[in-house]
């Protein structure tokens, strides 16, 4: 099942994506939660009500709506660095013995087709195609074997990075948290529909040119490793967003570096998930 957050010029609502159309849950089942985090929290008791609505008559075409980030205001946006072997190699760094985590702040969350800002203070803006996991329940100290049960679903993401700001200090938070620099979506595909998340092709295209092309089987620390470690440090909450790493082919590793510029079109594709596509625009 594909669940999206959308609007038609008013308040955001949640819907089920079916082909090129959408079932508006606010119309199909007015008693259900109206936001994605509420829907995820209630999922164990409402799933049997929601599932049949996937075959209901759609209310809207996707072309008629604006897709927002599936979780517009997550409590946490967490991201792991250096988690594909080819990206580690191109970065010139040793394979990490432990997972390397940073955060992208909530102001960076962006819709799957919304413009991405080129900040006034940098011209070293880079793309990072990423497979994204969405936490499904409040959990702590999750064993790796139990981690699949902690995941609600998956999305595609772009860990947009301002490289000079990222490497000004050992902490990456500023360079990773510029406004609009955490687009993800275009919807959440529920975990049951994906099955094994470590078999999916992942690509990034800039102006139609393939820059990244890999598979989630190449994650150094896989999605379940990540859930297990993070949950040792913090309580994971429904709707928390986890960017699981980017493969090789990023712009800063090219010789010379090949950064984004205003007017570029960046597309991230993940098999069985869908695609994001955004125009890079000058800030302001």
What is the 3-class SS of 16-62, one letter each residue?
EEECCEEEEHHHHCCCCCCCHHHHHHHHHHHHHHHHHHHHCCCCEEH
Task: Give, for 99, the enclosing helix (H) or strand (E).
Answer: none
pLDDT, position 122: 98
Q: Provide the residue ranges of all domains of the chain, joining segments of one domain with +.
A: 2-67, 77-282
Q: CB–CB of 263/279 below 8 Å?
A: yes
Burial per residue of 227-254, b for 16 or more beta-carbon CB atoms within 10 angstroms, e otherwise: bbbbbeeeebbbbbbbbbbbbbbbbbbe
Instruction: Look at residue 92 and tell me whether its pLDDT is greater than 90.
Output: no
pLDDT, position 284: 86
pLDDT, position 70: 98
pLDDT, position 6: 98
Q: CB–CB of 29/39 below 8 Å?
A: no
User: Of all residues in the chain, what percent are helix, strand and coil, respectively (each to 5)?
Assistant: 25, 35, 40
What is the average pLDDT score of the chain? Answer: 97
List the structure tokens of 26.
């606010």
List the structure tokens of 206.
């800039």
Question: CA dist 18 to 26, 97, 189, Å?
Answer: 16, 42, 12
pTM of the model: 0.97
CATH architecture of 77-282: Alpha-Beta Complex (3.90)
List the structure tokens of 245.
């790493």
Euclidean distance between CA atoms 86 and 91, whole angstroms: 9
| pLDDT confidence band for 160 (50 / 70 / 90) | very high
Q: Percentage of the chain with pLDDT > 70? A: 100
Q: Model confidence over 182-201: pLDDT tens digits?
A: 999 999 999 999 999 999 99
């Amino acid at each position: 099942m594909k669940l999206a957050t959308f609007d038609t010029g008013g308040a955001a609502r949640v819907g089920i994506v079916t082909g090129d159309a959408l079932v508006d849950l606010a119309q199909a089942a007015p008693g259900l939660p109206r936001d994605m985090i509420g829907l995820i929290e209630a999922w164990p008791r409402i799933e049997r009500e929601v599932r049949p609505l996937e075959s209901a008559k759609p209310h809207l075409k996707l072309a008629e709506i604006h897709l927002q980030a599936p979780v517009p205001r997550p409590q946490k946006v967490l991201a792991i660095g250096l988690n594909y072997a080819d990206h580690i190699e191109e970065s010139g760094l040793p394979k990490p013995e432990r997972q390397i985590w940073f955060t992208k702040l909530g102001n960076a969350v962006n819709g799957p087709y919304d413009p991405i800002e080129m900040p006034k203070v940098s011209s070293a803006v880079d793309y990072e195609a990423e497979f994204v996991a969405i936490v499904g329940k409040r959990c702590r100290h999750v064993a790796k074997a139990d981690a699949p049960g902690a995941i609600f679903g998956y999305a595609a993401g772009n860990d947009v990075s301002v490289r000079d700001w990222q490497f000004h200090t050992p902490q990456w938070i500023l360079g990773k948290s510029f406004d609009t620099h955490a687009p993800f979506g275009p919807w959440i595909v529920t975990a049951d529909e994906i099955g094994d998340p470590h078999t999916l092709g992942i690509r990034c295209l800039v102006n139609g040119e393939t820059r990244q092309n890999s598979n989630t089987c190449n994650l150094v620390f896989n999605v379940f490793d990540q859930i297990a470690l993070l949950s040792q440090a913090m309580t994971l909450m429904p709707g928390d967003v986890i960017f699981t790493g980017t493969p090789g082919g990023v712009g800063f590793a090219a010789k010379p570096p090949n950064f984004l510029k205003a007017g570029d079109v960046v597309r991230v594709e993940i098999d069985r998930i869908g695609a994001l596509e955004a125009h890079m625009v000058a800030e302001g």
